[in-house]
């Protein structure tokens, strides 16, 4: 049986028989093997990004190594956004202290692989340890609080997100206090020593992490657990009455989100060779949240893309904009420091997004239906007596 016949036999994909060809076979094949599609997608993106950076206008801004550096750091935020997407996008739990788990991952690696305690554990196992640490804290925070109603949860997580950096900052004797931990070991994987001068290995590891997380989320999304998350997101009471254990299900979402943040934390600490309390302030949690919301809550590709775009805007575009206007001496624009206004822009973008397009730039189909429920129901219901029911939340 050829791929094409297989595609035709697959009832899930309506196949247009009039357009045969390799392209169709490929899309059909990838449609059936989503995980593979994700891997291919990430690999292609990973290969194309450095090429795009070589295109004349981009190349003049900064050399390839700087571009790779920025892409790698963007990857950290893509990871964070993917993890937060599990919590906010898939399960509908608003976590406003997500940076806390990022911090826990970072500090775990900082303590386990730096001169600070004189311990030098290898990178790959520490990746797991950091993720596990974050997950443990996710469960510790989640177990008592996930019973709370949604917006209370948001505040508890916000409180937690504030406490964690304060603890790292104030426990000088154990954590390096305000100065943080510096001189953290760069990874040495399979005999390859990573250095700040040689970004490529970092970049490749980042791609692996992103691909791994994306496949994980993709597979989870379609699993029993993923459907339970979405059921809770849509209506927690209904989900509970259908036999879903809402507490454990939410706890799993929380723990997995934290795990991803832990991974990102370990990677970021090894990349920057530094971990300090100021890296994990509320603005970080907020930035990641904005990435998830702008990208499209619940859509893996959308979230990843949203995170990447926002990071590039924040760290490259706004800077370059300043330089371009400065060199061209545009009258008013050259006086404006665009980086200063980034949070104003985020705020505006968030408000406008929620008002005009709450499903994000690249929406998840089901999420979109939920967010536009009101409009749909008003159209569907013809009997005027039911209209009161629509208004009833």
Partner 1 sequence: MDPSVLIQQFFNALALGGIYALVALGYTMVYGIIELINFAHGDVFMVGAFVAMWVLTVPLGQHGGIKDPFLLIGVLLLVFVVTMIVMGVVGVLIERFAYRRLRNAPRLAPLLTAIGVSFILQNIIQTIFGPSPKTFPKLISSSGRFDLFGASISYLTVFIFVLAIVLLVVLQAFIGRTRLGRAMRSTAQDRDAAQLMGVDINRTIALTFFIGSALAGAGGVVAGLYFGQVQFNLGFSAGLKAFTAAVLGGIGNIPGAALGGFIIGFVEVYAGQFGLARWGEALVFAVLIIVLVFRPSGLLGQALGERA
The whole-angstrom separation of Cα 228 and Cα 147 is 16
**List 5, 66, 170, 242, residue binding partner 1 (CB under 8 A):** 170
| Residue 370 found at the interface with partner 1 (CB under 8 A) | yes
- Which ranges of 119-235 does DSSP label H, i.e. alpha helix? 123-145, 150-170, 172-175, 200-221, 224-234
| Residue 280 found at the interface with partner 1 (CB under 8 A) | no
Q: CB-based burial of residue 14 (10 Å sphere; 0-12 exposed, 13-18 middle, 19+ buried)?
A: exposed
Among the residue ranges 27-35, 70-78, 213-221, 282-290, the one whose residues contact partner 1 (CB under 8 A): 282-290
User: How remote is the C-alpha of 316 from its chain's centroid?
Assistant: 19
Contact 72, 203 (CB under 8 A): yes
**List 44, 52, 119, 163, residue binding partner 1 (CB under 8 A):** 163
| Residue 173 found at the interface with partner 1 (CB under 8 A) | no
Contact 113, 119 (CB under 8 A): yes
Residue 325 Cβ vs partner 1, minimum distance, rounded to whole Å = 18
Contact 108, 131 (CB under 8 A): no
Contact 78, 102 (CB under 8 A): no
The whole-angstrom separation of Cα 310 and Cα 333 is 21
Name which of 124 and 313 has its Cβ closer to partner 1: 313
Q: How far apart are the first and last CA of the chain?
A: 52
Residue 120, beta-bridge partner list? 113
**List 1, 51, 55, 344, residue binding partner 1 (CB under 8 A):** 344
Alpha-carbon distances, residue 328 vs 58, 132, 325 (angstroms): 17, 50, 5
The whole-angstrom separation of Cα 374 and Cα 356 is 14
| Residue 379 found at the interface with partner 1 (CB under 8 A) | no
**List 358, 361, 362, 366, residue binding partner 1 (CB under 8 A):** 358
Residue list 52-91, contact with partner 1 (CB under 8 A): 88
Residue 162 Cβ vs partner 1, minimum distance, rounded to whole Å = 5
| Residue 376 found at the interface with partner 1 (CB under 8 A) | no
Phi/psi for 54 (5° steps) reads: -85, -15
Residue 224 Cβ vs partner 1, minimum distance, rounded to whole Å = 24
Q: Give the per-residue contact string, 23-42, with partner 1 (x = CB under 8 A; - = no).
A: --------------------
Q: Give the three-class secondary structure for 152.
A: helix
The whole-angstrom separation of Cα 291 and Cα 296 is 8
Residue 312 Cβ vs partner 1, minimum distance, rounded to whole Å = 20
Q: Give the per-residue contact string, 229-248, with partner 1 (x = CB under 8 A; - = no).
A: -------xx-----------
Cα–Cα–Cα angle for 371, 373, 375, nearest 5°? 110
**List 95, 279, 346, 364, residue binding partner 1 (CB under 8 A):** 346
- Which ranges of 176-313 does DSSP label H, i.e. alpha helix? 200-221, 224-234, 236-241, 246-272, 282-295, 300-312
Name which of 53 and 291 has its Cβ closer to partner 1: 291
**List 339, 354, 376, 381, residue binding partner 1 (CB under 8 A):** 354
Residue 355 Cβ vs partner 1, minimum distance, rounded to whole Å = 6
Element (H, E) at 113: strand 113-114
| Residue 386 found at the interface with partner 1 (CB under 8 A) | no
| Residue 380 found at the interface with partner 1 (CB under 8 A) | no
Residue list 143-162, contact with partner 1 (CB under 8 A): 144-145, 148-152, 154-156, 158-160, 162
Name which of 105 and 360 has its Cβ closer to partner 1: 360
| Residue 117 found at the interface with partner 1 (CB under 8 A) | no
User: How remote is the C-alpha of 9 from its chain's centroid?
Assistant: 36
Which residues would be at the binding site for partner 1 (CB under 8 A)? 88, 92, 94, 96, 144-145, 148-152, 154-156, 158-160, 162-163, 166-167, 170, 236-237, 282, 286, 289, 293, 340-341, 343-344, 346-351, 354-355, 358, 370-371, 374, 388, 391-393
């Amino acid at each position: 049986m050829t791929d094409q016949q297989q595609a035709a036999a697959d009832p899930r994909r309506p196949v247009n028989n009039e357009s045969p060809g390799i392209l169709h076979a490929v899309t059909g094949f990838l449609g059936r093997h989503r995980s593979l599609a994700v891997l291919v997608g990430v690999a292609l993106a990973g290969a194309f990004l450095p090429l795009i950076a070589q295109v004349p206008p981009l190349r003049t801004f900064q050399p390839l190594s700087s571009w790779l550096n920025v892409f790698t750091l963007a990857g950290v935020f893509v990871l964070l956004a993917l993890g937060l997407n599990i919590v906010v996008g898939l399960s509908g739990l608003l976590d406003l202290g997500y940076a806390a788990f990022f911090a826990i991952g970072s500090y775990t690696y900082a303590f386990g692989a730096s001169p600070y305690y004189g311990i030098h554990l290898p990178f790959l196992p520490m990746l797991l340890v950091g993720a596990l640490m974050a997950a443990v804290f996710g469960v510790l925070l989640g177990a008592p609080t996930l019973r709370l109603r949604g917006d209370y949860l948001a505040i508890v997580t916000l409180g937690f997100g504030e406490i964690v950096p304060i603890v790292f900052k104030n426990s000088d004797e154990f954590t390096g206090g305000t100065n943080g931990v510096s001189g953290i070991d760069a990874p040495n994987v399979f005999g390859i020593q990573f250095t700040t001068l040689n970004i490529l290995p970092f970049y490749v590891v980042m791609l692996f992490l992103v691909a791994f997380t994306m496949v994980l989320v993709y597979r989870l999304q379609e699993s029993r657990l993923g459907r339970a998350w979405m059921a809770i997101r849509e209506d927690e009471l209904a989900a509970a009455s259908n036999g879903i254990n809402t507490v454990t299900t939410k706890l799993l979402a929380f723990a997995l989100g934290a795990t991803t943040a832990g991974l990102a934390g370990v990677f970021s600490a090894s990349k920057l060779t530094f971990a300090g309390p100021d890296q994990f302030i509320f603005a970080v949690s907020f930035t990641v949240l904005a990435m998830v919301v702008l990208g499209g809550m619940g859509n893996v590709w959308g979230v990843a893309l949203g995170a990447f775009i926002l990071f590039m805007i924040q760290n490259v575009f706004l800077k370059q904009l300043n330089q371009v206007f400065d060199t061209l001496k545009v009258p008013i624009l050259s006086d404006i420091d665009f980086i200063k206004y980034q949070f104003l822009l985020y705020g505006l973008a968030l408000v406008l997004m929620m008002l005009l397009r709450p499903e994000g730039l690249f929406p998840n189909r089901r999420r979109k239906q939920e967010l536009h429920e009101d409009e749909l129901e008003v159209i569907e219901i013809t009997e005027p007596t039911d209209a009161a029911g629509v208004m009833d939340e």
